[in-house]
Amino acid sequence: MNSMKKNCKESSTGRQITKWYKTKGRNNLPWRENITPYRVWISEIMLQQTQAKTVVNYFEKFISNYPTFEDFKSASEEDVLSLWKGLGFYRRARNLYRAKEMILKKFNGKLPNSFENLITLPGIGKSTAGAILSIAYKLPYPILDANVKRVLTRLFFKTNSNEKELWDLSSQILDKKNVDDFQQGIMDLGATVCTPKNALCGECPLNKQCISFSKGELPTVNVKKINKKNVYLEFEIYEKNQKIFLIKNNQLGFWDGLWIMPIAKTKQLKTEIIHKLSHRNLHISFANRSKDELKSEGKWFDIAQLSKLPTPKPISDKLSVYVQNFL
DNA sequence: GACTCGTGGAG
DNA sequence: TCTCCAAGAGT
């Protein structure tokens, strides 16, 4: 009896979110137009751990290259990485390629519409599967991204909440009859109203039932402390006849699959630039070398090719100097 | 279950 | 400048 009452109240919360979304949601996000499973899939992968604003340009560029799954079929891993250049978390791009190959081989070229099949695809976990099922197929599955987590922990005042509890809450408040709008709504609510700092509680449609709001206090969240390591890298620049020599990286433990310059085996700690990764601070320097010293396995690239080549940010920046001079 | 993967926005 | 943190998944 008690749980029935609870469910009733919670699904009304879901309807309030859906209602709020229809007038106050973000209505300028490209993946919300012309919704297809393919477009939802691409956007959801790009949006993992990445703010919507950052994704917009990458999504539009990707879609203009591959408007439909049919167009995407023949893309190579390198093609996908090129379109991912600068977006970060490049494993997503490689997994997107692998997933595409699996869809062709195992699912007859159609993105699955069942949870069990979706999560077998590389790069699609529980939350992304839930988003695809909800938004593309209108099936009531929960999602639990950073926005939903924040909204739920505050709404129900869950201090140091555990994942399972939040997944249960996410399932319970679902507006099953309007899952697509509801899911986008709860994410918008987290992104624009229930923000990490300076939340706009006065504008929140849930403020009357929000425990945190009534307490005038936010639940504590456990913050992971990251021990950042300093890494010193000297890149070797080989140039001849308007060409630059690069190697496909698989040795650093990050930037896998991207093209970089050969790395010098120097013990001298020099720093031209500091590039910050999520878990390391890279102290980077560059050294001009003559091609006689070249020993690495790699390829010479015309300078004209470099702008499209998948390279990590600091390498792209360095190479852009050559591109500028070349033009 | 802790750790790792990138880059940029925002305060 | 510095810190937090983002439509998470894989190992």
Annotation marks residue A78 as catalytic: no
- Amino acid A154 CA to nucleotide B1 C1' distance, rounded Å: 24
Please give the structure tokens belonging to residue A67.
Answer: 């408007």
Quote the distance between the C-alpha of residue A63 and its chain's center.
16
Same domain, A201 and A286: no
Q: Among candidates A195, A196, A194, A170, which has minimal Cα distance to A183?
A: A170
Q: In terms of residues, how long is chain A?
A: 327
Higher pLDDT: A191 or A326? It is A191
Query: Is A3 contained in some domain?
Result: no
Query: Is A72 contained in some domain?
Result: yes
Domain range for A67 is 12-215
Same domain, A130 and A29: yes
Q: Is the pLDDT of residue A293 over 90?
A: no
Same domain, A204 and A288: no
Alpha-carbon span A100 to A215, nearest angstrom = 48
- Amino acid A50 CA to nucleotide C6 C1' distance, rounded Å: 5
Task: Indicate if CB(A279) is under 7 A from strand B.
Answer: yes
pLDDT, tens only, A8-57: 455 799 999 999 999 999 999 999 999 999 999 999 999 999 999 999 99
Higher pLDDT: A42 or A268? It is A42
pLDDT, tens only, A162-214: 999 999 999 999 999 999 999 999 999 999 999 999 999 999 999 999 999 99
Q: What CATH number is attached to the domain comprising A286?
A: 3.90.79.10
Catalogue the long-range contacts made by A252-257 (C-beta closer than 8 Å, 24 or more residues apart).
A254/A280, A255/A90, A255/A312, A256/A90, A256/A91, A256/A94, A257/A77, A257/A81, A257/A90, A257/A93, A257/A94, A257/A310
Query: Is A4 contained in some domain?
Result: no
The DSSP-derived string for A49-76 is TS-HHHHHHHHHHHHHH-SSHHHHTT--
Q: What CATH number is attached to the domain comprising A65?
A: 1.10.340.30
Same domain, A154 and A59: yes
Task: Indicate if CB(A256) is under 7 A from strand B.
Answer: yes
- Amino acid A327 CA to nucleotide B1 C1' distance, rounded Å: 51
Q: Among candidates A106, A105, A95, A29, which has minimal Cα distance to A63?
A: A29
Q: Catalytic residue among A10, A33, A44, A203, which? A: A44
Same domain, A181 and A243: no
Query: Is A220 contained in some domain?
Result: no
Same domain, A248 and A205: no
Strand partners, A243: A240, A302
Same domain, A195 and A149: yes
CA pseudo-torsion sign A209, A210, A215, A216: negative
Query: Is A2 contained in some domain?
Result: no
Same domain, A67 and A208: yes
pLDDT, tens only, A227-258: 899 999 999 999 999 999 999 999 999 999 99
Residue nearest to nucleotide B4 (CA to C1'): A279
Give me the pLDDT at residue A276, please.
97
pLDDT, tens only, A75-92: 999 999 999 999 999 999
What Cα–Cα distance (Å) separates residue A257 from each residue in A18, A204, A254? 41, 44, 9
Give me the pLDDT at residue A292, please.
79
Same domain, A304 and A175: no
Same domain, A145 and A287: no
Query: Is A57 contained in some domain?
Result: yes
Number of domains observed in the structure of chain A: 2
What Cα–Cα distance (Å) separates residue A224 from each residue in A50, A276, A278, A280? 18, 18, 12, 15
Query: Is A47 contained in some domain?
Result: yes
Domain C-terminal end among A157, A186, A215: A215
A142 and A51 in contact (C-beta within 8 Å)? no
Show Cβ contacts of residue A171 under 8 Å, excluding neighbours closer than 6 positions.
Answer: A142
Q: Which nucleotide is nearest to A40 (CA to C1')?
A: C7
Rg of the Cα trace of chain A?
23
Query: Is A6 contained in some domain?
Result: no
Same domain, A233 and A265: yes
Please state the φ and ψ torsions of residue A119, each to the nearest 5 degrees: -75, -5
Same domain, A185 and A259: no
